[in-house]
Structure 1
């Protein structure tokens, strides 16, 4: 029997039962890709992260959803940072290695912040009417044609005309899988509206034919910052609120400095720890 320690944390949490849950395997040496995917499916969280030694960073991260591996995701990166910091394996300024490249991180007064990669953008080809139908909204609720943004994980960003419309969205699964798809099994859209430096956001993704809502999405927040940087909307400091519609509040801190550098941060609350038992093969 092989034993693998893990910790459970809530990322972007303002209360003990808020935020986005994450399992962090603190010493994943000995696990192959199939085992990591199976463990992620067992936990059935948005993501499960596995930490490996790195000669270039405090740790190397492998991030898995229940269905596939991701090159980068925000809440696993920040959750891993908090776990490493608590274990004394990272200081207040450090780097984590992801499949999308190195990610600089800081810890200040209990807030962990990552600096995202520079963004790229491309048109989606979707019109306002098609986007509205996909999301169960009126055409007037869509501000502009959606775009694909990528600071490490590519996602479809949809700017919405009001907070109320963001919260009212009810995606049509069939249309969602037709119009928000990067590749088979990978459909994702991030809805956002900002007013008075507070953005209300929701992220939807497809899993096994159903459209699921994520409680808190750091990679999408980074992509939103990337959109702002590419469109000259900086410097800025926004409070990002996610999870209202599923009664699981997440609060993210998004900043874009005068040079267009994007940073995403939040608080992490530790809730449990344990050991995963894996039988000998």
Structure 2
């Protein structure tokens, strides 16, 4: 039977409709089983959110799937879903989504949607700079100390580089990424970043499914980990724009805020680009 969906881009730049992360939101997925959801995400090749109904409190119930399989939480998909839910319900203000294990709060910030970051554990990685330089295809002076791994539910290497150009010119060695992941007890993923000349942030996020390496256009989780690193360095009452995705022709912009108490929040512009149906 036909199943309606919408394609939205999340963390877009103000002047580019085709920027940010693409998310497909299925608006009435109550009759779909998990296998169909998984295969739908694989068919579309993009992150998908399935609105399956409402809970006892009236919150939309949702399931999130990447092309690689189910995910319990997804920042881009949550913002896209909140954007659709608010339009469907005709309401205003914040939106709460009922995931499988948690209630997800998506904040209406006027011109964008915002989500609070999660507390993390930060651990310094003690390894030689030459190894990290080899991992990202840069020379040793490009590596800034200290390198850290940041853990929410999964650990990620967060690596500061000397310049935004170093970020742009990074080339990840897939073999080393997977070797380091095993040695450092982290997921095969790395977030590289540097300060731009204007005081904002240039970043790239790489991860390694099935032994390879892929790059992501925009990552709220990566920016959130960066925020936690900055908080650990004493940053407070700060606002940054995090620019990512230009190197894969999907430029994105994430608003990274740190309040006086060290709470990190992540915001982005959401734009709908298409609507359609699938015969599910």
C-alpha distance 266-158 of structure 1, shift in aligned 2 (>3 A): same
Q: SS of 1:27's equivalent? A: coil
Partner in structure 1 of residue 263 of structure 2: 261
Cα-to-partner distance string for 1:142-193 (whole Å, 9 max, x where unaligned): 1124323244554321111110100000101111122246999x52111111
Contact 1:117 1:152 in 2 (8 A): no
C-alpha distance 93-174 of structure 1, shift in aligned 2 (>3 A): same
Contact 2:86 2:95 in 1 (8 A): no
> Are positions 1:137 and 2:142 aligned together?
no
Q: Distance in 1 between matches of 2:90 and 2:155?
A: 30
> Are positions 1:7 and 2:6 aligned together?
yes
Partner in structure 1 of residue 66 of structure 2: 65
Q: Distance in 2 between matches of 1:82 and 1:117?
A: 21
C-alpha distance 194-101 of structure 1, shift in aligned 2 (>3 A): farther
Contact 2:5 2:24 in 1 (8 A): yes
C-alpha distance 160-183 of structure 1, shift in aligned 2 (>3 A): closer
C-alpha distance 166-28 of structure 1, shift in aligned 2 (>3 A): same
Contact 1:181 1:188 in 2 (8 A): no
- Kindly report which structure 2 residues correspond to 1:138-217, keeping only aligned pairs within 5 A, or say none: 138-151=139-152, 154-180=155-181, 187-195=188-196, 196-217=198-219
C-alpha distance 78-242 of structure 1, shift in aligned 2 (>3 A): same
Normalising by structure 2, report the TM-score: 0.88
Unaligned 5+ segments in structure 1 are none
Note the C-alpha offset of 1:49: 1.8
C-alpha distance 5-117 of structure 1, shift in aligned 2 (>3 A): same
Number of aligned positions between the proteins: 276
C-alpha distance 129-64 of structure 1, shift in aligned 2 (>3 A): farther
Unaligned 5+ segments in structure 2 are none
Q: Distance in 1 between matches of 2:45 and 2:184?
A: 21
